[in-house]
Amino acid sequence: MNVVYASNDNYARHLAVSMLSLFDRNRRVRQLTVYVISMGIGGENRERLESIAAQYGRELCFVELNDVKARFSCEIDTRGFDVSAMGRLFVGSLLPMDVERVLYLDCDTVVVQSVQELWRTELRGNVLGAVMEPTIYKEVRRECGLSDRDIYVNSGVLLIDLKRWRQTGAERLLLDFYEKKGGGLFACDQDTINGALKGRILPLPPRYNFFTNYRYFSYRELVRQEPLYGDAVREEELREAKRHPVVIHYAGDERPWYAGNRNHYRKAYENYLALTPWAGTPKEKGRELYLFAYHLMDYLTVVCPPARRLISRLLGMRVTDARRKR
């Protein structure tokens, strides 16, 4: 099994948590190699990460991606997201040619069950498999060039047929798409993957990339927001993902490393953090009031979905644009 992350020094702690959870929950996997697309991960952090891999007898390979911005012919506007996220677009050229399948994981994920079943998923001729994100804004879908028949997926967990990726020239397709859009897409790499590779993505069950805020969304509401979700995901699959996710993804604002967060799934991150060299790192302060309001919105999602949709419409993209301006 080949797993790849993309990270810089700032995210090394979260990478450590995710990687350690991966090793812990997949002890029975005979071969497990982790590739880290590094954008300046320093010596001390590398040593800490290597100590985790050594503890589990796993191979850890760093692949340095020095100046990712130099790989684009246009300016990169990540809208507040870290530029290291763009590293996943270059897996085909950065990883060894004999690596023909990879599982990409975001650093803000925690693995809570074995991913062997996910790894063995048949992609049916598609370039990659990923979990749908039905709550994405309609404007984002249109900007990606998606029709009502095209799915939109989250790029936090990607099962990639790297052989087909290279054969189809996916990297060039991704760069051309991003540059054609002027480097100003809402979700940068994620929108690029959806737009450039539409029709070549297999939807995966939500348990393989469970967004923690979806705990508060009903199946009916997600299908209302994206009718294609009803075709790709059964109601029982969503219930199972809420109860027993395989990969937890701390997408959204309720991240477990922020003081005042009330994320229902925060213990998975905290428990694995305690096993890393970063154990005892204090939570980041300054967002407590905002996170209290955010958690109230979680419950609003349950009792009054239209109100949640209205708030999202009014504030969602505005908040992201504010991040870009800073």
- Whether residue 242 contacts residue 168, with contact meaning beta carbons closer than 8 Å, is answered with no
Cα pseudo-dihedral 7, 11, 16, 19, rounded to 10: -40
Q: How many CA atoms does the CB half-sphere of 85 hold within 13 Å?
A: 22
Helices H / strands E in the chain, number of each: 15, 10
The tally of domains found in the chain comes to: 1
Look at residues 207, 214, 213 and name the one whose alpha carbon lies nearest to residue 113: 207
The reported pLDDT for the residue numbered 325 is 45
For the whole model, what pTM was predicted?
0.94
Count the neighbouring beta carbons within 10 Å of the beta carbon of residue 100.
15
Buried b / exposed e along 259-273 (16+ C-beta atoms within 10 A) = ebbebebbebbeebb
The reported pLDDT for the residue numbered 254 is 96
Please tell me the distance from the alpha carbon of residue 134 to that of residue 221, in angstroms, as a whole number.
10
The reported pLDDT for the residue numbered 78 is 57
Residue 253 is classified by DSSP as: S
- Whether residue 52 contacts residue 145, with contact meaning beta carbons closer than 8 Å, is answered with no
Look at residues 235, 244, 205, 204 and name the one whose alpha carbon lies nearest to residue 111: 244
- Domain of 237, CATH number, reads 3.90.550.10
Alpha-helical runs (H) found in 120-184: 138-143, 162-167, 170-180
- Whether residue 62 contacts residue 51, with contact meaning beta carbons closer than 8 Å, is answered with no
C-alpha distances in Å from residue 119, one per residue of 26, 34, 81, 181, 270: 11, 14, 27, 33, 26
Exposed / middle / buried, residue 67 (Cβ in 10 Å: 0-12, 13-18, 19+): exposed
The reported pLDDT for the residue numbered 192 is 95
Sign of the dihedral defined by the CA atoms of residues 180, 134, 198, 207, in that order: positive
- Whether residue 237 contacts residue 207, with contact meaning beta carbons closer than 8 Å, is answered with yes
Distance of CA 187 to the CA centre of its chain: 11
Which residue carries 């880290």 as its tokens?
36
Q: Which domain covers residue 17, as residue numbers? A: 2-325
Structure tokens at 283: 């939570």
Please tell me the distance from the alpha carbon of residue 41 to that of residue 37, in angstroms, as a whole number.
9
Strand partners, 129: 159, 202
The reported pLDDT for the residue numbered 74 is 62
- Whether residue 162 contacts residue 126, with contact meaning beta carbons closer than 8 Å, is answered with no
The reported pLDDT for the residue numbered 160 is 98
The reported pLDDT for the residue numbered 48 is 98
In single-letter form, the type of residue at position 277 comes to P
Kindly give the confidence (pLDDT) of every residue in the chain, 326 residues in length, as a single tens digit, with 9 standing for 90 and above.
999 999 999 999 999 999 999 999 999 999 999 999 999 999 999 999 999 999 999 999 999 997 776 676 666 665 556 667 788 899 999 999 999 999 999 999 999 999 999 999 999 999 999 999 999 999 999 999 999 999 999 999 999 999 999 999 999 999 999 989 887 788 889 999 999 999 999 999 999 999 999 999 999 999 999 999 999 999 999 999 999 999 999 998 999 999 999 999 999 999 999 999 999 999 999 999 999 999 999 999 999 999 888 888 777 656 555 544 44
Look at residues 161, 257, 264, 174 and name the one whose alpha carbon lies nearest to residue 212: 264
